[in-house]
Amino acid sequence: MSNNQQTSMNRRRALEVLGVMSLSPAVMAAEPAFPSKTIRYILPFSAGSSTDILSRVVTQQLSTQLNQAVIVENKPGAGGIIGSQQIIHANPDGYTIGLVSLATVAMVPATLKELPYDSVRDFAPLSALVSVDMALIAGPRAQGKTLPEFVEWAKKRTEPVFLGTLGAGTSGHFAGFLFGQAAKIKFEPVHFKTLSDLLQAMVTGQIDVMTVVPSQVASFMKDGKLRGLATNGPTRLAAFPEVPTFKEVGYPDMQFMNWIGVAAPAKTPPEVLDKLSAEFIKAAKVPAVRAKLEEAGFRVIANTREEFAASIRKDVVVWRDMVKATGFTV
């Protein structure tokens, strides 16, 4: 190779290097760091629900940490299926995420022959933020101040004992069914789309009992319009020390962890998932946020996305087997 040819080749290489260097800032500018715009947070349940309270407390903190708006969109219906579909069908770029729960990924799927999503395949778990205890709540028509007294009354009735729920296959529906089996009471389920409709039916005596997060009905319990019979947690709730656990009154099998978390659509880039997971965990552990969540009756978990994914895989199997064993249908 002649000296002229070598010089020409060196010049071309130098120009190529300069070209790459000049393009690098442009490429970087075209791909701003995540997140660079508003994040949609899909909530598959109604406004005013316990999941609504949780979502707004946590996303407000998340907005502060990310310096980006995180907008909660309530998409209730079909026991959480409608909102869950919107999460999994969103563009997997991290700008649409949403709430998932034991009910929407394990309970409801176990009760349906055809479900429009696969809980393990279609969601990218971020974190199980909290667990929440549920309470069997009695209305004015139901008799008995204690759980044993209520069971005695219910067994003597010739008319149906109506169980109000927020949707077929939800945790409230399933918990009521499991208690009915344990106490040998046949509940007639009545499903409502919103918590306000359910509460209206309760206080007016149209239905007898419901299984809900007790903080949702705290004011009604304080006024004596509704009364708590038992909770499914491991210990009594500090906010409701007068309400015993199911285990205390002879129903140990009614204890289970009802977790609530957040997820993104499957195929969301791992680096985006890592970012969102870390920020959600950080948000839930902020002392002021934790205090608000505990005041609302939640127990903070805030686990990693790997731990959450393992929990989902386990619960899908556990509740599928439980549905088969109990004969629960919707």
String of DSSP letters for 241-294? TTSPBTTTTT-GGG----EEEEEEETT--HHHHHHHHHHHHHHHHSHHHHHHHH
Q: Check pLDDT > 60 for residue 1.
A: no
Specify whether 169 is located in the same domain as 221. yes
Gyration radius (Cα) of the chain, Å: 25
Q: Is 327 exposed, middle or buried (0-12, 13-18, 19+ CB in 10 A)?
A: exposed
Specify whether 211 is located in the same domain as 310. no
Specify whether 83 is located in the same domain as 162. no
Specify whether 227 is located in the same domain as 239. yes
Confidence band of 24 (pLDDT split at 50, 70, 90): very low
* Domain contains 24: no
Q: Which of 215, 235, 254 is the last residue before a domain boundary?
A: 254
Specify whether 98 is located in the same domain as 70. yes
Note the pLDDT tens digit of each residue in 186-224. Answer: 899 999 988 889 999 999 999 999 998 888 888 899 899
Specify whether 123 is located in the same domain as 225. no
pLDDT for 13 equals 59
More confident residue, 108 or 247: 247
Distance from C-alpha of 323 to C-alpha of 268, rounded to nearest angstrom: 31
pTM recorded for the entire structure:
0.78
pLDDT > 90 fraction of the chain, expressed in percent and rounded: 62
Note the pLDDT tens digit of each residue in 80-111. Answer: 899 999 999 999 999 999 999 998 999 888 88
Q: Which residues pair with 209 in a beta bridge?
A: 138, 163
* Domain contains 74: yes
Q: Which of 203, 228, 254 is the last residue before a domain boundary?
A: 254
Q: Which segment of 133-142, 212-221, 227-236, 242-251 scores lowest on mean pLDDT?
A: 212-221
* Domain contains 20: no
Supply the mean pLDDT for the chain. Answer: 88
CATH number at residue 309: 3.40.190.150
* Domain contains 230: yes
* Domain contains 122: yes
Specify whether 204 is located in the same domain as 170. yes
More confident residue, 48 or 312: 312
pLDDT for 255 equals 78
**DSSP assignment letter at 330:** -
Neighbours of 9 (CB within 10 A): 11
pLDDT for 113 equals 79
Specify whether 204 is located in the same domain as 145. yes
pLDDT for 12 equals 57
Q: Which of 233, 254, 275 is the last residue before a domain boundary?
A: 254
Q: Which residues pair with 99 in a beta bridge?
A: 262
String of DSSP letters for 129-194? EEEE--EEEE-TTS--SSHHHHHHHHHH-SS-EEEEESSTTSHHHHHHHHHHHHHT--EEEEE-SS
Specify whether 63 is located in the same domain as 123. yes
Asked if 106 contacts 141 with a C-beta cutoff of 8 angstroms, the reply is no
Note the pLDDT tens digit of each residue in 53-76. Answer: 999 999 999 999 999 999 999 999
Total domains present in the chain: 2
pLDDT for 77 equals 84
Question: Which range is most confident: 18-22, 269-273, 326-330?
Answer: 269-273
CATH number at residue 160: 3.40.190.10
pLDDT for 280 equals 98
Specify whether 196 is located in the same domain as 118. no
Specify whether 144 is located in the same domain as 227. yes
* Domain contains 58: yes
Distance from C-alpha of 316 to C-alpha of 329, rounded to nearest angstrom: 16
The Cα diameter of the chain in Å comes to 107
Specify whether 80 is located in the same domain as 170. no
Range of the domain at 249: 135-254
Q: Check pLDDT > 50 for residue 17.
A: no
* Domain contains 5: no
More confident residue, 177 or 20: 177
